[in-house]
A and B are shown apart, each in its own frame.
Chain A
Amino acid sequence: MKKLALALAATAAIVFSIGTAAQAEDKKKICFIYVGSKTDGGWTQAHDIGRQQLEKELGDKIETAVLENVPEGPDAERALERMARSGCSLIFATSFGFMDATIKVAEKFPDVKFEHATGYKAAPNVATYNARFYEGRYIQGQIAAKMSEKGVAGYIASFPIPEVVMGINSFVHGAQSVNPDFKVKVIWANTWFDPGKEADAAKALIDQGVDILTQHTDTTAPMQVAAERGIKAFGQASDMIAAGPNTQLTAIVDTWGAYYVKRANALLDGTWKSEQIWDGLKDGILTMAPYTNMPDDVKKMAEETEAKIRSGELHPFTGPINKQDGSQWLKDGEKAEDGVLLGMNFYIAGVDDKLPQ
């Protein structure tokens, strides 16, 4: 037993003695904190692909580090603090639930820059960034209305937050711009990530008579079900064409890379400042996957709409739009304000569901 104790002491001595390896390089460290796993195939993976692009383009000037699967709450605060203390100059917090933790830690480390995705609280060293995913959903709605024979689409939603509600409304409004009687059935899966449950929801929607499927959850399971049942569907977060080569019409692809490169460059040349960024199709923060599995006229319509949104000619939320209860939301020609969209908690007419209040 003495030997054992000795060995233990020796190990401890070695472990203690080396200390933290000194970081001699003067590369700027840019850090990312993820709520999910780097390889979740959805939201977090899209951010990590952006990070990889950043490393590829600016790898000689910066290095990146990652913390994945960080639960929202006190763990996030600790993780952010550890990042700030370990020499990160710019930290991207990529989940809404990190908002308050980011603000708290940013207060303690005024020299470190933070960027928080999809939130609304900012500070001198905290910028926010988000993408106008609803622009893509409007296009999807138009395609759905053209492609659907029954005039009913199924929508697999995750959680009732403004982002998701906004997406549903934009989809419905896009569809109704083509077919005013178009309806959408919604299932709240109460998860971002459970292939089995997403597949079950897809099957339930199809059994209830929808003939086109869209999703705001992260796995390709609904796409697979659509492929099996022979209906068309839209991908989410990444190009899901591999899961449904004859099924996917298009997908909203999160392309954060360009944004990350832009912000890292701003950090490097000293022009970084706190901004509230809500970029859209024209900035390339989201892109549409190729329009496939549809007739040429539908494809042409989609491309035209996309071009109009890019040029600013078309705002998806342009009146007249009524709320679900029939009251008027937007007058003819009136465009929705960003503030209303970001806090959206009502459906527009045509959604076959009641919003949880």
Chain B
Amino acid sequence: MRIELEKRAGASRLFSFLSPLLALLLTVIFGGIMFALLGKDPIHALHSFFIEPLLEVWSLHELAIKAGPLILIAVGLSVCYRSNNWNIGAEGQYVMGAIAGSILPVVFFEWNSPLILPLMLIMGAIGGALYAGIPALLKAHFNTNEILTSLMLVYIAQLFLDWLVRGAWRNPQGMNFPETRSFAPEAVLPPIMEASGRAHWSFVFALIAAVAVWFMMHYTLKGFEVTVLGQSPRAGRFAGFSSRKMIWFSMLLSGGLAGFAGISEVSGSIGHLQPIISPGYGFTAIIVAFLGRLNPLGIIASGLVLALTYLGGEAAQLSIGVSDKVTRVFQGLLLFFVLSCDTLIHYKVRLVFDRVRQKIEGAA
């Protein structure tokens, strides 16, 4: 028995819609089996995984908090990947954005002004963009592969943050613990609806960024340029587009968005700098970008789904006592099913039974 694929003439609209549902169904079935094997009530487990986090308003706020940075970063990455620039160092750009944005509230902590927050956000975006500028510069002018440089720069950024919060930027009133002073109230990104939860404006920014990039990709020449250069740099050159400029554009855009995500997270959710400010957002966002099929609107959906699996994982740990590893396996399952079901959009899948074929061929 073999599996054969046949390319469809165009993307199937039916399956674009059905494939995520099919993936979900398969995950539910296989996840249910896994939970049953572990001696847990599968329905209860699945309920706490997918439904429980959505039943309460505060939890929806948490969903937005978790999805915000993922979407912001993934939207930027989608432009990179569409243009064939393999930035996998968004985690580092996120960290550098957070550091750059924190200069005002940490170093110039006595300066209070309504201007401080917008300035912080801008500086955060610039910080992330500049840091992404390093692999961009190296690729554009020194022909250095960006996969390696951007990844290595992640570790360097994390160590730099570590050094800052344990040294120069350490809170003088903090008993020498590795934290900066807490941001002044003016420097904190405010919540959207304070009464019901702590989701802050970063989620709104993420939605705006997604829509803006979607618009750019579909309705502007720049978007066309990204696509052309991504698919065929040669064709792009004939059209008068510059690969080199595109490296700069896509890397700075994605770095800027990652940096923006970093400072929003630090300002809105944490309130100070500390050695660890990201649970791997920059890497998870790569998955989010591809799950969203590199489409900014799809990324909103995939960002929310991935955020849900984290929240669901916690709910399942608490209510049925499965270990954290089980939830990670479950996440992996979900991703695999989503990825493989997407095949149905572009291809007809058929199972070929060799014996049958031989018979037919023999008869003929």
Chain A interface residues toward B at CB < 8 A: 1, 4-5, 7-8, 11, 14-16, 18-21, 31, 37-38, 65-75, 77-79, 81-83, 85-86, 96-97, 100, 119-120, 159-162, 190, 342-345, 356-357
Give the residues in chain A near B311, CB-CB below 8 Å. 78
Question: Of A8, A18, A20, A69, which one neighbours B43 at CB under 8 angstroms?
Answer: A18
Pick the interface stretch among B50-58, B105-113, B120-128, B212-220: B50-58
Q: B167 to chain A: which residues have CB within 8 Å?
A: 356-357
Top 9 nearest A-B pairs by Cβ distance? A71-B279, A74-B269, A343-B175, A345-B176, A68-B324, A343-B176, A69-B324, A78-B62, A15-B47
Report B196 CB to chain A, min CB distance, Å.
12
Interface SS of chain B: helix
Extra 16 A-B pairs, beta carbons < 8 Å, given A74-B270, A161-B166: A7-B25, A8-B21, A31-B318, A67-B314, A67-B317, A71-B278, A71-B279, A73-B277, A75-B310, A77-B198, A82-B315, A86-B318, A97-B276, A120-B177, A159-B178, A344-B176
A77 near B269 (CB under 8 angstroms)?
Answer: yes
Which residues on B sit within 8 Å (CB–CB) of A4? Answer: 18, 21-22, 25
Task: List A contacts of B317 (CB < 8 A).
Answer: 65-68
A66 with B321, Cβ < 8 A, contacts A18-B44, A85-B58 known: yes
Task: List chain B residues, Cβ under 8 A from A20.
Answer: 47-48, 52, 55, 319
Q: Which of chain A's residues has its CB closest to B317's CB?
A: A67
B159 at the interface (CB under 8 A from A): yes
Partner of A81, one of B58, B159, B163, B310: B58
Flag B32-70 by CB within 8 Å of A: 1 or 0 each: 000000000001101110111001101100100110000
Q: Is B82 an interface residue (CB 8 A)?
A: no
Q: Which residues of B contact A (CB under 8 A)?
A: 14, 18, 21-22, 24-25, 28, 43-44, 46-48, 50-52, 55-56, 58-59, 62, 65-66, 159, 162-163, 166-167, 175-179, 182, 198, 265, 269-272, 274-279, 310-311, 314-315, 317-319, 321, 323-325
Q: Please state if A100 and B272 are interface contacts (CB–CB under 8 Å).
A: yes
CB-contact partner of A82 in B18, B178, B318, under 8 A: B318
Query: Roughly how many angstroms separate A114 CA and B278 CA in the complex, as a whole number?
Result: 24
**A73 and B166 form a contact (CB under 8 A):** no
What are 17 A-B interface contacts by the 8 Å CB criterion? A1-B14, A15-B51, A67-B314, A67-B317, A67-B318, A68-B323, A69-B324, A71-B279, A73-B269, A73-B270, A74-B65, A77-B198, A78-B65, A79-B314, A85-B58, A86-B319, A162-B177
From B44, B50, B278, A21 is in contact (CB under 8 Å) with: B44
Cβ–Cβ contact B65 & A71, under 8 A: no
- Which residues on A sit within 8 Å (CB–CB) of B51? 15-16
Chain B residues whose C-beta falls within 8 Å of the C-beta of A86 in the assembled complex: 318-319
Known: A15-B46, A18-B44. A161 touches B269 (CB 8 A): no
Q: What is the CB-to-nearest-CB distance from A84 to chain B, in angstroms, rounded to a whole number?
A: 11
Question: What residues on B are CB-neighbors of A159 within 8 Å?
Answer: 162, 166, 178, 275
Could you tell me if A78 and B43 are in contact, using CB atoms closer than 8 angstroms?
A: no
Q: Report Cα–Cα, A5/B21, bound state, in Å.
A: 8
Given contacts A4-B22, A8-B21, A74-B270, whether A162 and B176 have CB atoms under 8 Å apart is yes
Q: How far is the CA of A19 from the CA of B319 in the complex (A)?
A: 12
Q: Closest CB of chain B to A96's CB: distance in Å?
A: 7
- Do the beta carbons of B274 and A97 come within 8 Å of each other? yes
The residue of chain A having its C-beta at the shortest distance from the C-beta of B328 within the complex is: A69
Q: Which residues of chain B are within 8 angstroms of A356 by Cβ–Cβ distance?
A: 163, 166-167
**Residues of chain B with a CB closer than 8 A to A16's CB:** 47, 51
Is A11 in contact with B318, judged by CB distance below 8 angstroms? no
A100 lies within 8 A of B58 (CB): no
- With both beta carbons as reference points, the residue of chain B lying nearest to A21 in the complex is identified as B44
Closest partner residue, chain B, to A357 (CB atom): B167
The CA-CA distance from A190 to B59 in the complex, in Å, is 34
CA separation between A343 and B25, bound complex, in Å? 54
Across the interface, name the chain B residue whose C-beta is closest to A86: B318
- Which residue, of A5, A75, A86, has the highest number of chain B Cβ atoms within 10 A? A75
B192 nearest CB across to chain A (Å): 15
For B318, the chain A residues whose CB sits under 8 A away are: 31, 65, 67, 82-83, 86
With a cutoff of 8 Å between Cβ atoms, the chain A residues found around residue B65 in the complex are 74, 78
Shortest Cβ gap from A93 to chain B (Å): 15
Q: Pick the contact of A73 from B55, B276, B324 — CB < 8 Å?
A: B276
**Smallest beta-carbon distance B170→chain A, Å:** 9
Residue from the list B59, B176, B272, B277 in contact with A161, Cβ < 8 A: B176
Q: Are A65 and B321 in contact (CB under 8 A)?
A: yes
Contacts of A78 in B (CB 8 A): 62, 65-66, 311, 314
Contact residues in B for A14 (Cβ distance below 8 Å): 43
| A141 CB to nearest B CB, Å | 22
**Also in contact, A11 and B276, with CB within 8 A (given A74-B265, A85-B58, A356-B166):** no
Q: Once the chains are docked, how many angstroms separate the CA of A230 from the CA of B238? A: 69
CA separation between A82 and B66, bound complex, in Å?
Answer: 14
CB-based nearest B residue for A79: B314
Q: Which residues of chain B have C-beta atoms less than 8 A from A357's C-beta?
A: 167
On chain A, the residues within 8 Å of B47 by CB distance are: 15-16, 18-20
| Shortest Cβ distance from residue A344 to the other chain B in the assembled complex, whole angstroms | 7
Contacts of B270 in A (CB 8 A): 73-74, 100
Task: Assess the A190–B58 pair: CB atoms within 8 A.
Answer: no
Given contacts A21-B44, A190-B159, contact A11 B28 (CB under 8 A): yes
Contact B279 A96, beta carbon cutoff 8 Å: no
Q: What distance in Å separates the Cβ of B345 from its nearest Cβ neighbour in chain A?
A: 14
